[in-house]
Amino acid sequence: MKKRPVLDYLAHTNLPWLWAAVFATTLPHAFHLPTWISVVIALMLIHVVWQWRTGYRITPAWVRVGLVCLSCAGVALQFGLPPSGESGIAMLALLICMKLLELKSHRDSVVLLTLCYFLLLTHYLYSQNILSGLWLVVSALIIAASLLKIHTDPQQSVFAILSHATRLFLQALPLMLALYLLFPRVDGPLWGRPQGVHSVTGLSNNMAPGNIAGLITSEEIAFRVQFEGAPPPRKQLYWRGPVLTHYNGRTWEGEDFLVQPPDMEPRGKAVNYTLTLEAHQRHWLLPLEMPTHVESEGVDAVMTRNGLLRSRYRPIITRTRLKLVSYPEYRLDAERQLPPMLQRSSLQLPRDYNPRALELARSWRDENPDSRQLAQRALNYFHNEAFYYTLEPPLLGAQAMDDFLFNTRRGFCEHYASAFVTLMRAAGVPARVVTGYLGGELNPVDNFFIVRQSSAHAWAEIWIANEGWIRIDPTAAIDPTRVEANVAGNLVDGDPGGAGGGTINWLQVLGYRWDALENSWNQWVLGYTPGQQRELLSSIGLSNTSWQRITILLIIVMATLLLTLTLWLLRTRPAPADPTWKLWQKALRHLEKHGVRTRTWETPLALAKRLQTERPELAEPVLAIARLVCAARYEPGASDRTAKIRTLLHNLS
């Protein structure tokens, strides 16, 4: 029976390095791959460790073939056919681990490490944060060190190999920075797939009781804002999202009228700001009410008839930066009559739903039909009756608004906005629900406003002739502090009506610093857009550069860096000083004091032989020194002889 080959000594010492490279490369994928694939990979890595300790032997061919067949079948069943990006990554991770089971030659090690580089790159398709970047840098160093290990002296220490790999990395760093800064940029991230982008959905195009309350507990970031100058007062920080007009008795749904934008009359002071929007898989852009100007690369922004700023063609599937101008004070559609289509949608109510609410609103209208007075009557009703805020309201029945207004009286912002709009429509006042975000949290480290999913909010708009759409937030009728402070900040210690606040402790400071670092990473690394590249080049005097000029500049810079690095590596380095040779030079200076002139071509032993005839009294100590010097230079493994040479020099002098 033919025995399976055993790794030779060199390959056996390389195995821990190869294992470390595979482990570092596959570990990040354990958070994204199906559990069974992660378990199979872990078992194979454990098996390789056991083999290394007991004597590595190549796994039998029938086992390897069986593993490949079972893995292919499992991946096909897991991800389906035809193959996709996820299935390809999963199969690559499995096959790399299987390669550890059949190492036979130096070539196998090189192939394995090359595949590790490919698998390392695929992790950017799932995660692009700072921690992932740091882990991938460490993994790349491990792979580079493994390549050095299999090509260098097997007796070299771990520290020496890692130091060498680090030096190579530092030498490549200028080239990497030049490529990153000057390579012609494209719109969108370099690494990304629309179907695999990590995002938080956040707001949707419909609202049912509990939708927004479910977001309040989420600390995921919806977007960041950087104001030019002082930010507006917190009570004006309404970030406008989907506008909901159609109501079926329980759920509000949005209708995007793309006919023309609303008639917006700005008032007061303009607010200039940059909004960095996280991917949310939707079309809306969430500006500060109300925007008049927007600039963005790769996004065709349009304003719908109901005041929603949205991307015309594609959803926001990547982090997107927008420059906007908004007016917190404005008049919207301040005309004598609403367009018939918009008026019908703003008065629509389902039949046979919520009769008690409709009867109440009609009785108010009969007493006073003035739209503002009706709105104030509804707000007073919320304020004076026993209504409460809670994240866990009781379930509502089929007549949802009747049940809320007259029975449970407990809910969150979507309950109050929904009830208010229902009452207004029943009273004949055009009204609609607006969803978005309220407020934000200032990071004092980088002065960015952070708006999280926990700041999700719903409010209402009513239309009044000659005044247009007026924002009314029923939240203020229950607890005005929810408008003046961050909504999520008030929900502390299980007290839904409490007021948040307090001093900033060291943990919060640390969190702010980390968030500022993460924001810088997002803005300047992941979000390095063509616009930012042009701004960078303009700052160094290269304005109005086309991609052709950038390419030429990149070639010149890269060639200069490569030439500089080559000259630095090929520079003539002085040989390290030999202490024994220094002592021999000292001996020659002593001989010159005794009148002995040495010749430049003369070796130590030749000089000692000449002195036997010319100066016999000096021949014996010089010969002893010459023998020690030659032994030290040509027998590197011998013990140090410098002490003996110094003793003889003392006798010679």
pLDDT-above-90 percentage for the chain: 22
**Residue range 255-283, pLDDT digits in tens:** 766 667 888 889 889 999 999 888 888 88
d(CA 127, CA 279): 13
Check whether residue 94 and residue 218 sit in a common domain: no
Residue 193 lies in a domain: no
User: Taking Cα atoms as reference points, which of 506, 550, 619 lies closest to residue 180?
Assistant: 550
* Residues annotated as catalytic (active site), given as ranges: 413, 457, 473
* pLDDT at residue 40 in the model: 92
* pLDDT at residue 512 in the model: 75
Check whether residue 139 and residue 259 sit in a common domain: no
- Into how many domains does the chain fold? 3
Check whether residue 439 and residue 346 sit in a common domain: yes
Q: Identify each DSSP E strand in 110-255 by its residue range.
A: 206-207, 221-227, 238-247, 252-254
**Residue range 206-233, pLDDT digits in tens:** 887 766 766 777 788 889 999 998 888 8
Element (H, E) at 468: strand 468-472
In order of 188, 289, 438, 550, 652, the CA distances from 320 in angstroms are: 8, 19, 20, 24, 82
* pLDDT at residue 121 in the model: 85
User: Taking Cα atoms as reference points, which of 43, 28, 30, 21 lies closest to residue 116?
Assistant: 21
Check whether residue 123 and residue 216 sit in a common domain: no
In order of 4, 162, 253, 560, 577, the CA distances from 203 in angstroms are: 61, 48, 12, 51, 72
Check whether residue 293 and residue 424 sit in a common domain: yes
Residue 554's region, left for phi above 0, alpha for psi from -120 to 50, else beta, is: alpha
Phi and psi torsions of 467, nearest 5°: -120, -25
420 pLDDT band, cuts 50/70/90, is very high
291 pLDDT band, cuts 50/70/90, is very high
Check whether residue 116 and residue 262 sit in a common domain: no
Q: What is the span of the domain harbouring residue 646? A: 579-652
Averaged confidence pLDDT in the chain:
81
* pLDDT at residue 186 in the model: 62
Are 196 and 86 in contact, with CB atoms under 8 Å apart?
yes
d(CA 561, CA 471): 59
176 pLDDT band, cuts 50/70/90, is confident
* pLDDT at residue 479 in the model: 60
Q: Which of 435, 468, 490 is the last residue of a domain?
A: 490
Averaged pLDDT for residues 537-545: 74
Encoding tokens for residue 561? 């860096």
Check whether residue 239 and residue 378 sit in a common domain: yes
User: Taking Cα atoms as reference points, which of 308, 325, 225, 333 lies closest to residue 269?
Assistant: 325
Residue 460 lies in a domain: yes
Are 257 and 341 in contact, with CB atoms under 8 Å apart?
yes
Check whether residue 312 and residue 458 sit in a common domain: yes
Tell me the sheet residues that pair with 37.
none
**Residue range 23-58, pLDDT digits in tens:** 999 998 888 889 999 999 999 999 988 888 887 788
Residue 283 lies in a domain: yes
* pLDDT at residue 491 in the model: 37
Averaged pLDDT for residues 514-532: 74
Tell me the sheet residues that pair with 265.
331
* pLDDT at residue 11 in the model: 63
d(CA 344, CA 361): 18
The gap from C-alpha 235 to its chain's centroid, in whole angstroms, comes to: 31
* pLDDT at residue 480 in the model: 58
362 pLDDT band, cuts 50/70/90, is very high
Listed in sequence order, the residues at least 6 apart from 282 whose beta carbon sits closer than 8 Å to its beta carbon are 201, 202, 203, 204, 205, 315, 316
290 preceded by cis ω (within 30°)?
yes
Higher pLDDT, 9 or 95: 95
* pLDDT at residue 263 in the model: 86
Check whether residue 149 and residue 256 sit in a common domain: no
d(CA 514, CA 445): 9
Q: Which of 490, 524, 547 is the last residue of a domain?
A: 490
Are 136 and 27 in contact, with CB atoms under 8 Å apart?
no
Q: Which of 449, 470, 490 is the last residue of a domain?
A: 490
Residue 474 lies in a domain: yes
Residue 564 lies in a domain: no
Averaged pLDDT for residues 97-118: 88
Encoding tokens for residue 542? 């290269």
Check whether residue 126 and residue 254 sit in a common domain: no
pTM across the whole model = 0.68
* pLDDT at residue 324 in the model: 93
* pLDDT at residue 425 in the model: 94
Checking if the pLDDT of 337 tops 90, the result is no
**Residue range 602-613, pLDDT digits in tens:** 888 888 888 888
Check whether residue 312 and residue 442 sit in a common domain: yes
Listed in sequence order, the residues at least 6 apart from 276 whose beta carbon sits closer than 8 Å to its beta carbon are 223, 224, 225, 226, 319, 320, 321, 322, 519, 522, 523, 527
Encoding tokens for residue 261? 């934008």
Check whether residue 481 and residue 623 sit in a common domain: no
**Residue range 450-497, pLDDT digits in tens:** 898 888 889 999 999 888 999 999 987 776 555 555 444 433 333 333
Checking if the pLDDT of 201 tops 60, the result is no
Q: Which amino acid is at 85?
A: G
Checking if the pLDDT of 80 tops 80, the result is yes
